[in-house]
């Protein structure tokens, strides 16, 4: 599937979600479009329909998303798919009470194991070497807790211990391979130092996924690229640790084995408002979150296709040679993001 068709398909899906949600702030605007195909049949959606037919089959659209993802294993038998839970949204608020209760965590772990076994996520995931002939060495998918402030500290350590122990017991009782457990942690040094016992955590999980992005958000007063690969000379004194290379090297220094470490890549961009006309550079004070995108509707965050739309509308694109990442800007805002080139560079670190 070409990048152009991926972009079109993403727009189609966003359009259809907005059109179906009467509470969405853009719903009335969608309804007012002359010739809206959801009401009258003739519109630009005809092109969208052709795009859908070109990039995927109708049954693929109707298929369960999890099954669609795991079907990629047909092309790459060694592909591993993890089920993520938690995250920065309001759903994370429930995790504080969950992790604080051993009984609830044990029930959660049991339900997670049952779901993974019963769904396509728990299918055999390939093997390598003669050791894989033992069923317990086969690669099965597992759960990946996505840490937020509710998962930090003692609650996080307790939750990981319960999940790890529960998966071991489930494997012993069923004779099936042990489900694998991964932990998603922040790549920010301050959070790493204050929230995690890295040595203890990495011993109880199979993988540590570092979220190597969101180094700069509106909560930090200075403007910077949220997913820079390397620091710049101007970062000395305040931002030399806010980049992908530092996060990875720091976790290796703290004892996380390279065989366990997974680098998380962002598919979103972070946008900021310029505070004034004379200070439009990294390291300057910013004016807060950028305007929400028309589809994502989240202040300060833009999807990749929303960033592409801005470029098509005249935003200036640029590339930071020291950070090795792209960014784009208008007279009032800037968005820091990744493209194919910077993603490729990160994979090669």
Q: Which own/partner pairs from 43-46 qualify as long-range (CB within 8 Å, at least 24 positions apart)?
A: 45/12, 45/15
- Give me the pLDDT at residue 120, please: 59
Count CB atoms within 10 A of the CB of residue 94. 11
pLDDT, mean of residues 83-104: 67
Q: pLDDT tens across 164-178, in order?
A: 888 889 999 999 888
pLDDT, mean of residues 3-27: 62
**CA-to-CA distance for 183 and 272, rounded, in angstroms?**
29
pLDDT, mean of residues 221-241: 89
Q: pLDDT tens across 277-286, in order?
A: 889 999 999 9
Please tell me the least confidently modeled range out of 82-96, 189-203, 223-237, 295-309: 82-96
Residue 24 has pLDDT above 70, yes or no: no
pLDDT grade for 227, boundaries at 50, 70 and 90? very high
pLDDT, mean of residues 91-117: 77
Percent over 70 (pLDDT), the chain: 66
- Give me the pLDDT at residue 297, please: 87
**CA-to-CA distance for 190 and 335, rounded, in angstroms?**
24
Name residue 272's beta-bridge partners: 289, 334
pLDDT grade for 202, boundaries at 50, 70 and 90? confident
Residue 299 has pLDDT above 80, yes or no: yes
- Give me the pLDDT at residue 300, please: 96
- Give me the pLDDT at residue 324, please: 96
pLDDT, mean of residues 120-147: 38
- Give me the pLDDT at residue 131, please: 25
Residue 116 near residue 141, CB atoms below 8 Å:
yes
Residue 246 has pLDDT above 50, yes or no: yes
pLDDT, mean of residues 179-195: 89
Q: Say what the pTM is.
A: 0.72
What average pLDDT does the structure give for the chain?
77
- Give me the pLDDT at residue 109, please: 87
Q: Which own/partner pairs from 41-50 qualify as long-range (CB within 8 Å, at least 24 positions apart)?
A: 45/12, 45/15, 47/8, 48/8, 48/11, 48/12, 48/15
Q: pLDDT tens across 324-345, in order?
A: 999 999 999 999 999 999 999 9
- Give me the pLDDT at residue 328, please: 97
- Give me the pLDDT at residue 161, please: 79
The encoded tokens of residue 43 equal 């519109």
- Give me the pLDDT at residue 71, please: 76
Q: pLDDT tens across 56-70, in order?
A: 554 554 456 667 777
CATH of domain 64-211: 3.20.20.80
- Give me the pLDDT at residue 321, please: 95
Range(s) of the chain covered by CATH 3.20.20.80: 64-211
Percent over 90 (pLDDT), the chain: 38
pLDDT, mean of residues 72-86: 79
Higher-pLDDT residue of 288, 3: 288
Higher-pLDDT residue of 196, 124: 196
């Amino acid at each position: 599937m070409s990048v152009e068709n991926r972009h079109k398909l993403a727009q189609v899906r966003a359009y259809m979600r907005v059109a179906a949600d009467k509470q969405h702030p853009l719903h009335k605007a969608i309804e007012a479009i002359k010739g809206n195909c959801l009401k009258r049949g003739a519109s630009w959606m005809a092109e969208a329909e052709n795009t859908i037919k070109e990039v995927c089959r109708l049954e693929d659209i109707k298929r369960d998303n999890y099954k669609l993802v795991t079907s990629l294993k047909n092309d790459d038998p060694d592909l591993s798919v993890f089920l993520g839970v938690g995250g920065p949204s309001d759903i994370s608020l429930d995790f504080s009470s969950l992790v604080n209760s051993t009984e609830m965590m044990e029930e959660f772990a049991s339900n997670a194991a049952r779901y993974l076994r019963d769904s396509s996520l728990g299918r055999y995931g390939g093997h390598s070497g003669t050791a894989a002939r033992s069923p317990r060495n086969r690669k099965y998918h597992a759960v990946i807790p996505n840490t937020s402030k509710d998962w930090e500290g003692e609650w996080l350590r307790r939750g990981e211990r319960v999940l790890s122990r529960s998966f071991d017991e489930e494997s012993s009782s069923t004779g099936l391979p042990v489900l694998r457990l991964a932990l998603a942690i922040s790549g920010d040094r301050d959070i790493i130092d204050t929230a995690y016992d890295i040595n203890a955590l990495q011993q109880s999980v199979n993988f540590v996924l570092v979220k190597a992005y969101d180094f700069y958000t509106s909560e930090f007063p200075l403007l910077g690229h949220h997913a820079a690969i390397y620091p710049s000379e101007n970062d000395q004194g305040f931002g030399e640790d806010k980049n992908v290379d530092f996060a990875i090297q720091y976790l290796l220094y703290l004892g996380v084995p390279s065989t366990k470490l997974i680098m998380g890549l962002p598919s979103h961009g972070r946008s900021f408002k310029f505070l004034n006309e004379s200070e439009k550079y990294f390291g300057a004070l910013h004016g807060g979150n950028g305007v929400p995108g028309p589809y994502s509707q989240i202040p300060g965050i833009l999807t990749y296709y929303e960033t592409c739309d801005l470029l098509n509308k005249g935003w200036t694109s640029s590339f930071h040679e020291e950070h090795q990442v792209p960014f784009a800007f208008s007279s009032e805002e800037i968005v820091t993001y990744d493209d194919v080139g910077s993603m490729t560079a990160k994979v090669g670190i």
